[in-house]
Amino acid sequence: GVRATIINVGGGLPVDYFAPPVPVAAQAQAVMTGQTPLENIAAALFDVLAAQPNPPTLMIEPGSRVIADAGVLLATVENVKRRVALDEHWLLLDAGFNTLLDTLAYSWYFHGVAADRADAPHDQPYRVSGPLCDGADVYHDAENLGRLPDHRYLPANMQAGDVIAFLDAGGYTLDQMHQYNGHPRAAAVMIMDDGNGTPALIRRRETYADLAAFDLPLA
């Protein structure tokens, strides 16, 4: 005899990290035009709820699909090297799994593009790694589990100072960022919806003084 006033149907819609991201607006359009099974689920829910004399409040948890697409990680190329024997080009970045922990924890794939040459052909294979002096600090499958690609395709002649944008990084990245091997955490910038796309600093970059802020001198 108890009537629920709130029904939470869950959600948890995942991000397809292995494909170029689809904008949230396009996903919503697909739902509304019946191009996805989500539309069938929504129709069934609404039909049942609409038939109730006092319909309960419907709650939906969209999951990381919405927030992931809203975040981009910008990483700077610090060094470029070539392993002649293997004919491999390596890019060493200033962001490793201390900044994007899911690359290590779950072997999640984050699509990367050259931020200042996004319209250039991305046809040169690179091995990509972070700065942590750790064998797992790579943007490919270090344990050969078959989950991540061995190489990332970016424009030819990538140089130190170039910026790589890793897409779909809005879910969990800020919360999981940590100071492994004494690396300060990165800053966070929000692009304001003010008609001009004004950038606003919402979290400052950590300093080395921050790393030692909780250390106490010996008595």
Query: Annotated active-site positions, please?
Result: 133
Among 199, 141, 198, 173, residue whose Cα is nearest residue 75: 173
Identify each DSSP E strand in 84-158 by its residue range.
88-93, 112-114, 124-129, 152-154
Distance CA 154, CA 164 (A): 9
Among 172, 88, 181, residue whose Cα is nearest residue 130: 181
Within its chain, how far is the Cα of 217 from the centroid? 39
Give the 3-state DSSP-derived string for 66-83, with helices as H, strands as E and coil as C: HHHCCCCEEEEEEEEEEE
Q: Show the DSSP H helices in 51-147 as ranges.
A: 64-68, 102-105
Distance CA 178, CA 36 (A): 38
Q: Is residue 107 exposed (0-12), middle (13-18) or buried (19+ Cβ within 10 Å)?
A: middle
Residues in the chain: 219
